[in-house]
Structure 1
């Protein structure tokens, strides 16, 4: 199979936009290289194992070229503080936890945030989020756009307030967008949510469903969505071509609010080509980079140390 065609198939597989025929073509390619027979029919557990097996094989297939680069592929299933103008505030007491993030529209990267309950948020530039935990409720007030991957706590509802609507979640991933005062959209990627409007009308959403609420007319419209297109914005700062590792490290510092140190300075010049979904945690990103670069990393608080040999076949 032509390598360019294979790369396109892999990216479409990662983005979950591959057609059944393209998925079968990629499956056939994988079986040809592993020599294994078609394992279908498979249970869900077997299919998950097979998916991880394929991802590992694809990572192992990546080769460093004469002008070294690394192609990084990360699953969609398994974003950003910029400069001194970002406002971050965190206060906590035994009775109350509060977190505020405000990212200017001029920021070039998204912001990845871990909330105190271990929920993950990817915040779009030009957005503001206020998280509070008091009593048994986890409540967020959002202006702008954000992706949420909410940790399940059955006795602690997670409620997102956007304009005139509120979205109640027990455990799910979703995207909420409200840049203008006239409309709010809620898109569910997994799990189940309840959207309540100003008139207390309730709408239940399941995966691949979206509601758009007009705050002037109180009209609510429900439509089907394609997940990859809804959160396409989250990967905008995690697609890079032949980027020096040092420049990528600076991007990751802003995105995840950490400091990255190169124990071997020669690694800073290694170019990297990568494609992530944008919803991965820092550990997930570093794990993939380490596997493909043949390097190691360690974390001490918010300080990350990278180590390893310089690029293979590096030209002096």
Structure 2
């Protein structure tokens, strides 16, 4: 019996990570087949790629071709949400999008990103994850829950399953959701920060719990987990940039250390200086340091992977 061909709305739901589990394999098998070409082309053309990314026809054609090659290849791949599909395909040539559909025999999935790398991943449950530089996680499923251990930073768009909670173990907190989108930063030398974009998230530590909704975040203030209105720019790293508004330089240095895999040393009077800028992570670290030198009269010395920042 021939499998039912997916509709356009089913394909869009599949790319958004909202496809019911019972339809997931059917649609994936269809996408593996050359018969999917025409439908994918129509879906691609229906998305407003021109207005969103100002791509020329030749660039659109090349990007679509590369995406289709990935789908047709015998190698494992990941399919991405409707929105992420357009973004990821449009950035494919620029950031080397990582495609993976991984189901190892031990049922524990492990992912790692390198310095200056943003990695897009879709889990077997259709949850979407964007992994920041120098970050890693492992993921497993049981009959009771979906469990993920995170080191570093990631953006999540969790596929909703009311019978299977999605739990993230970070350094000092546990995050529990059913289906929502949010950002988690849990680097080794910093306090955890959980920022919710949509839905509802429960964040717990040994002292208690806070519940977050849209545009709220959980942070540690005076070593206590508290919630507040989310600061803007928390997820700008996904587009390989960082937006800072009156941010202490130490916080910015920490982000630069993670992204470029360097160590930045500086005195407290520089660390507490507040700085406003949009920093492109596509550029070399020297670009940021030179701008800092001009605007803040701050000098620096580079010795291998260590940068010493100082004022005369």
> Higher helix share goes to which structure?
2
TM-score normalised according to structure 1 size: 0.45
The structure whose RCO (Cα within 8 Å, separation 6+) is larger is 1
TM-score normalised according to structure 2 size: 0.46
